[in-house]
Structure 1
Amino acid sequence: MSIAEQANEILHSVFGYKSFRNQQLPIIESVIRGEDNVVIIPTGGGKSLCYQIPALILPGTTVVISPLIALMKDQVDQLLAYGIKAAYLNGSQSPQEQQFVANLYIQGEIKLLYIAPERLATSTFINMLKSVAPSLIAIDEAHCISQWGHDFRPEYLQIGQLKAKFSAVPIIALTATADDVTRKDIIERLNLDKPQVRLTSFDRPNIRYTVVERLNPLEQVSSFLTNQKGNSGIIYCSSRAKVDDMASRLANRGYSVAAYHAGLTTQERANAQERFLKDDVAIMVATVAFGMGINKPNVRFVIHANAPRTIEAYYQETGRAGRDGLPAEAILLNNERDFNWYQTVIAEKEEGFHKSVELHKLSEMIAFTQAQTCRRIVLLNYFGEHRVEKCNNCDVCLYPLEHYNGLVDAQKILSCVYRVGQNYGTQYLVDVLRGSNRSSIKENGHNTLSVYGIGKEHSADYWTSIIRQLIHLGYLKQDPTSFSALFLSEEARNVLRGDISLSLVKPRLELVKRTRQNRYARSINQTTILSYEERSLFNNLKRLRKEIADMDDVAPYIIFSDESLLEMVKTQPESKRELLGITGVGKIKLEKYGELFLDEIEKFITAN
């Protein structure tokens, strides 16, 4: 039997998939031939099969270097559910447990062994590998070894020694995000031998990208979540304090949330992650410390309450949505303050190439948020994938920017700035324009000005957005030494006199409202493609899946993915043979769970 035939048989019978994708088969064939490989496949694109299938074909054990101890159990649980012998070795285990796993490895009783990169620093482990060499070494999240990668980890540098010590063992390095300079750095630091570089499309067509101006993040997030009942998602904030604040406020509004950041204890983080993976909480509010390697396929949305620093980070984090290929949302709440802070941090660093690269990557991220062309085109071209066709699944394509004659609005704002003495910040100016009753306005006598209340027809968010545009256009400036007080530039005279026409962008408040309409929510709620009766079956299958998962102490998606359940609902199989044709149903899972799911489907058919 050829390698391709063996690989296809494992794909069908073990993993329950119908066909390979994203160059998986040529990668598998290359690995089994003993060649080194660098594989860049987007999140959800099937990277793990590129080393898991070779592990089952090759003799001996495959060693997988994975970045986070907390994820190893999840990865091993998934393999065990497929009937594959796998284990992990890390510091969370007792010495007796570690010795037990080591003995399994030495005796050849496991096909895949997951370890953290720190394990390579121990002579005991290296000696164990020398006594029984692995058949393959897989390095997950390989961008962590590169200082040009967006998530460089010093402990990954130890991996570079492996090629010298195990020259005959093929190495496969895998990541979802690596630009050209990062890919070259990975190859150099891993000392790979003429590796095959496999670069597939970075496109995630099922993800809708949306960038909106951040005005009131809690209200904007809450507005979006209104239509997300039962959906799983991640909300990223830039600091621990912001995570705690957002999580607390959402919990007070009745949302099912957990918080995750480096300020929590290891146990607290592990508990939060486990509750999220097991669908015990729907929403994870986190810093970027959360998410790498998360295999949860049914994340329907990722919200960035603060902008990431690089496009690589943004792509990696948004890629945690829709791993199952079903529709998902990526929402970015954009505010220039985030980028001003990043620029300040980078400016304090030592001059050199590394600093210039960071500034370049930050400017590319800023350009992405300001783009007036298709978001997907910008993303793909950044990664060297030339694309000119619009995606029709991002905010720019779906909701083109609306311009209007903003001269009168600008004159109201500039006049207000002038009449209050050019000594106050944005919020105060907005309050004067809208006729606020705040005591400081009355104390300053500004409630008697001609500009007091002339903007009451619009919301505070509306005026804040217009003020920001006037700052960007250079008509208003801010004094950083005086609480960001606004003052007029020389160019503002032309606006006040009405000597020029002024085209402004209509504030995207309409878009925020539209997120509450069914048209917008439809893209992230896969059950809308089902009839009322089918949704009932889908929910029953989800309930059954959760009950089994709780008994097995695993995440529900390890039993079956949402994609598998939807296919069951649409085809309604009545026999094990028909159930075996469902995506994700292999022979082991068929024997374990087949009768239970067939019984649930039969009940539905009988009742309807």
Structure 2
Amino acid sequence: MDAKESLIKIIKSLIEIGQPVSRQVLTDYLTGKESREIEELGLDENETYGIGDAHEDDYWTTIIDKAFESGYLKAKPSKSDKLTASTEGKKFAKKPTPFIVDEEEEATDENLSGLRDLEDLMADIPGGDANSLEQKASTKTKQQIKLIHAIDRKIALDDFAESESMSFDEVLEELEKLIRQGLNVDITYFTNEVLGEECVEELVDYIASQKKFSMENALQEYGDVYKEEEIRLAYIVYLIQQSK
């Protein structure tokens, strides 16, 4: 499909926003969804806020990723790789050309692997068949689906928490629940960034050496070096490894 008009909306939105924003914030902005960061930045007062509300989040995620791959968006170096319009993107907005996006890109195995796992999990719940996933999904389930998509797109978990008005602990709780239910994810892109690979390995080795993991004992052992949330992250990595 030719997504020229959609790309123009993205570029115009980023120009009006005037500062780099995360993919999640940009998606929320385009669809007119309220979030704490959008409110704090005063973005809900912009003319382009909600300019793409005719499409769902997944559509905009696909267009944003394709625009980034094509060089129309650039990422500001940071753990969350916040986006802004590139010089080529601004030129495109002034003189648009066809912007072809393969519709199948919205449903690649890689991007939907976590969602399919969640559908399989829901199929084991009475009334939770995959066909009725969208209709019957609770607010909590929708957040879990968003979390899976965020991990697939390698969005920083703390940025996801902020965009969903959740605490970081709440995100870790939901992630731990999903992993215990059999979800297969990889969060090393985040843990290696915030902790470092060697530190993660050290904590995972410690956890594996314990007959039964206790956060209280872990804090006694490592509390002067690591925060509780960092130990929890390592514990989640351990759970992921054990589930494979």
* TM-score, normalization by structure 1: 0.17
Which has the larger helix fraction?
A: 2
Which has the larger strand fraction?
A: 1
| Greater relative contact order (CA < 8 Å, ≥ 6 in sequence) | 2
